[in-house]
Amino acid sequence: MTNDSFATARIGPFFVTQGIHNLRDYGGYPVPGEGRVRSGVLFRSGQHMEASDEDLALIDALDIRTVIDLRGTSERSGFPCRRHPRFGAQVIAYDGETSNSPPHEGGGGQVVMTPEKARERMLAVYRRMPVNPAMIWIFREYFRALDENEGGSLVHCFAGKDRTGIAASLLLHALGVHHDDIVDEFLLTNDAPTRAILERQSLPRMEAHYGTIDPEALHNLMGVLPEYIDTYIAEVTRDHGSLDAYLATILGVDEDRKQRLRARLVA
């Protein structure tokens, strides 16, 4: 089975799936010169607990050799990913928790979830992420794997939008993609044709905690806003001077590694 078998099962960069939210190719963006980030090797998504057999066949066809699972231990045990019988990819995951209060779990106190409270909750996630030791560890492993491993890779968390969105954005920055394109790719989550999958997987628990959630508040929790990625970058820049300095000193992505990544992932 080849990627061509699924050519009609795509909407732009998104793969049409039955039980995986936000599965897409995040390659294809131009870099300085005449190159582009390679398509068909960099994939991102939400978790795969409800993946259908057809979804698993698609994942198998994509020939993914490395999976970087950004979820913590409790998320992985509570929402174990289904795997194809031929699945043989290396799975990289953190032994511990990577987020103390992910949006899909509710939590944070019994409150009425207004749009502003939802926005502030998500901004807090992005403010914590640059200094979260677990996220630093898993992002370092993500870059190491992309530097050293052959074949395609898949990075995912639960919804495939926050932790995963920053992972993809950091890589595209390291490859030389323009900031505007990085933000556009980050915001593509809002166009995912599989929003119903995410709502099925997480909304019942959220409403059990918060009650009925205002549609705008739900968008702030289940989608992404430009200020989410802006907040992450602002935190990094304040503490380290630039995103490149953070990549080099904290995540191990120095100029040599950038050049190796570009040689591997830019065509």
Q: Half-sphere exposure of residue 178, counting CA atoms within 13 Å on the CB side?
A: 10
Give CA–CA dist 200/197, Å, rounded: 5
Please check the confidence at residue 2 and state whether its pLDDT lies above 50: no
Domain boundaries of the chain, sorted by first residue: 3-265
Task: Report the SS3 class of residue 22.
Answer: coil
Band of residue 159 on the pLDDT scale cut at 50, 70, 90: very high
Tokens of 144: 């190491």
Please check the confidence at residue 85 and state whether its pLDDT lies above 90: yes
Sequence-separated contacts (24+) of 144-148 with Cβ below 8 Å: 144/252, 145/66, 145/68, 145/90, 145/92, 146/66, 146/171, 146/261, 146/264, 146/265, 147/257, 147/260, 147/261, 147/264
Tell me the mean pLDDT in the region 60-71: 97
Give CA–CA dist 113/65, Å, rounded: 40
Give CA–CA dist 202/47, Å, rounded: 11
Beta carbons of 231 and 123 less than 8 angstroms apart: yes
Please check the confidence at residue 172 and state whether its pLDDT lies above 50: yes
Cα 96 from chain centre: 18
> Regarding the domain delimited by 3-265, which CATH topology (the fold level of the hierarchy) does it fall under?
Protein-Tyrosine Phosphatase; Chain A (3.90.190)
Residues with catalytic roles: 157
Q: What percent of the chain has pLDDT over 70?
A: 93
Q: In the prediction, which pLDDT does 102 show?
A: 57
Please check the confidence at residue 184 and state whether its pLDDT lies above 80: yes
Tell me the mean pLDDT in the region 207-234: 95
Give CA–CA dist 257/264, Å, rounded: 11
Say which range, 123-137, 195-209, 224-238, has the weakest mean pLDDT. Answer: 195-209
Q: What percent of the chain has pLDDT over 90?
A: 88
Band of residue 210 on the pLDDT scale cut at 50, 70, 90: confident
Digit-coded pLDDT (tens) for 35-44: 999 999 999 9
Burial of 108 (0-12, 13-18, 19+ CB in 10 A): middle
Whether the pTM exceeds 0.85: the reply is yes
Give CA–CA dist 38/34, Å, rounded: 12
Task: Report the SS3 class of residue 11.
Answer: strand
DSSP assignments along 158-213, one per residue: SSSSSHHHHHHHHHHHHHT--HHHHHHHHHGGGG-TTHHHHHHHHHHHHHHHH-S-
Q: What is the mean pLDDT of the chain?
A: 93
Q: In the prediction, which pLDDT does 3 show?
A: 45
Q: Which residues pair with 45 in a beta bridge?
A: 156
Give CA–CA dist 129/136, Å, rounded: 8
Residue type at position 171: L
Digit-coded pLDDT (tens) for 89-148: 999 999 999 987 655 555 555 678 999 999 999 999 999 999 999 999 999 999 999 999
